[in-house]
Structure 1
Amino acid sequence: MAANRPFKSALIVVDMQEDFCPPNGSLAVPEGRTIAPIINTLLSKPGFTMRILTKDYHPKDHISFASNHPGPENQPFSSYVTMNNPAPGKESESKLQQLWPVHCVADTAGAEIIPEIDSSNVDLVVRKGMRPEVEMYSVFADAFGNCDPGAHTHSVSLDVAAALRAQGVTDVVVVGLAGDYCVKATAIDAARVGFKSWVVEEGTKCVVPANWEDIKRELKDSGVSVISMGDPLIEGLGK
């Protein structure tokens, strides 16, 4: 951290939900539940100005659910569909979307935060991925970079960047699930929209654990710092 740089931090805990955790999650991240103590330690640190939990909160007809597409090219993890940008005037923009098992459907047990997470100090719970026709890994924007908070038909329940700026936040620390998808996207977007972005390595797990070293390089190339719980920044938040 540069000397004399303004510093006011927020913690974003990404998608610590039942469907992303063993033993029963429909899209369980290996060892995903085991990071809860690390996350609780971070949530308890008094140095954070804001503490935010995010939740994937999909409609039943979400585009990423393999079962919503005809076979045989509808296999979770390996199949892709074409997704179009829902923003007005940008409908011709498209990209491929990986298909997943049904997960984190709104108002289901699988969408709930696991009970191991101590949410007593949480300031905001933000739902994302609520628009059926577009994926949203990052809490800051959908897969095309759109952020359209407000109505229940929109992708995200709150403009997180605006909420952070309103509190004078300069730095965002990101943990949760999964390191190779929603944590990565949230951390990269935090840097993209102007925050200094940090990922705590012990506080995340990946859908494909072998990908982590590549993900760390991608994070660093995008301006995100990957640190440990012993980093001076984290230790300083306890004071």
Structure 2
Amino acid sequence: MPSDSKPGAAAAAADDSIRAENRPFVPALIVVDMQEDFCPPNGSLAVQDGRTIAPLINDLLAKPGFVTRVATLDWHPANHISFAANHPAPNNKPFVSLIEMKNPAPGKSTETKPQRLWPIHCMADSHGAALIPEIESNRVDLLVHKGQNSQVEMYSAFADAFGNHGLKGAGGSVDVDLAFELRTKAVTDVFVVGLAGDYCVKSTALDAVKAGFRSWLIEDGTKCVVPADWNKTKEELCAAGVVVINANDAVIMRLAAV
């Protein structure tokens, strides 16, 4: 994914602002969906070069400055709405077809969104749903299983596609209220890596802002389904308040010095 000087400048400015204003800085790391089905060579929804970011993620997991380290897992039932195989032809082509998805929250079924269909992936308890062995899972403090409600997509670790959040609000989609867990540790900043940059990583970083955290996306710690669109994705992230950085930026170096 291409990079430029603007994200680095934004990161430096954000870090300087935190220091200058003596604001609390209590960081957490969120490692998104580093699962077999999202990684070559055999993943059903493999992201190109997805496995190659594991060493960088392990370096981040080892940094003592993080007060907690979270890993998320897509954890779908067999009848999940995003699986192309669960829809009739001809509108059931993975990566291409779109279906209409309804908000599962009580009283909101008239609210709809288009949902892209995917190959079957990350079925609960399957090999494809497992965290890849290259990730040092012994350093992970909290696992979040998401996407468990068959009727709605959940890219973000904080909320489903309609913004329903929390254990009740997300209607069984997730087994951890991540925002609540982070607040119990007084977290102020979340740093997001993993797969894929243009879907679950992006959505998690955006929802971190909505949940009231300062949000940082480490771009050399992610890979995208459509790498050519990364600059457009970065514009969306930055416009929403997410700071896009690299793993060698000063704010990351602070985490190694604790």
Q: TM-score when scaled to structure 2?
A: 0.91
Match of 1:212 among 223, 230, 244: 230
Is the aligned partner of 1:194 residue 2:212? yes
For 2:237 and 2:211, how far apart are their aligned partners in 1? 15
One-letter amino acid of the counterpart of residue 139, structure 1? A
Counterparts in 2 of 1:1-239, with a 5 A limit?
A: 1=15, 2=17, 3=20, 4-149=22-167, 154-239=172-257
Q: Percent identity?
A: 62
For 1:85 and 1:55, how far apart are their aligned partners in 2? 22
Do the aligned residues in 1 keep the contact of 2:105 with 2:171 (CA within 8 Å)?
A: no
For 2:229 and 2:50, how far apart are their aligned partners in 1? 15
For 1:211 and 1:108, how far apart are their aligned partners in 2? 31
In the TM superposition, what whole-angstrom CA distance separates every residue of 1:210-237 from its partner, at most 9, and x where no partner exists?
1111111111011000001111110000
Unmatched runs of 5 consecutive residues or more in structure 1: none
Cα displacement (A) at 1:153:
6.9
Would you identify which runs of 4 or more consecutive aligned residues in structure 1 move more than 4 Å? none
In the TM superposition, what whole-angstrom CA distance separates every residue of 1:136-163 from its partner, at most 9, and x where no partner exists?
000000000012427x970001000000
- What SS class does the counterpart of residue 175 from structure 1 fall into? strand
For 1:104 and 1:227, how far apart are their aligned partners in 2? 29
In the TM superposition, what whole-angstrom CA distance separates every residue of 1:96-128 from its partner, at most 9, and x where no partner exists?
000000000001000000000001111101000
Q: TM-score when scaled to structure 1?
A: 0.98
In the TM superposition, what whole-angstrom CA distance separates every residue of 1:14-58 from its partner, at most 9, and x where no partner exists?
000000000000000000000000000000000000100000000
In the TM superposition, what whole-angstrom CA distance separates every residue of 1:49-87 from its partner, at most 9, and x where no partner exists?
010000000000000000000001110011000000000
One-letter amino acid of the counterpart of residue 190, structure 2? V
How many aligned positions are there? 239
More deviation, 12-21/227-236 = 227-236
Do the aligned residues in 2 keep the contact of 1:130 with 1:153 (CA within 8 Å)?
A: no
Unmatched runs of 5 consecutive residues or more in structure 2: 1-14
Q: Indicate the residue corresponding to 2:11 in structure 1.
A: none
For 1:206 and 1:185, how far apart are their aligned partners in 2? 13
RMSD between superposed Cα atoms in Å: 1.3
For 2:65 and 2:158, how far apart are their aligned partners in 1? 23
- What SS class does the counterpart of residue 53 from structure 2 fall into? helix
For 2:50 and 2:140, how far apart are their aligned partners in 1? 20
For 2:56 and 2:70, how far apart are their aligned partners in 1? 15
For 2:240 and 2:119, how far apart are their aligned partners in 1? 29
One-letter amino acid of the counterpart of residue 5, structure 1? R
Do the aligned residues in 1 keep the contact of 2:158 with 2:166 (CA within 8 Å)?
A: no
- What SS class does the counterpart of residue 120 from structure 1 fall into? helix
One-letter amino acid of the counterpart of residue 204, structure 2? T
Higher helix proportion: 2
For 2:220 and 2:55, how far apart are their aligned partners in 1? 10
Do the aligned residues in 1 keep the contact of 2:104 with 2:171 (CA within 8 Å)?
A: no
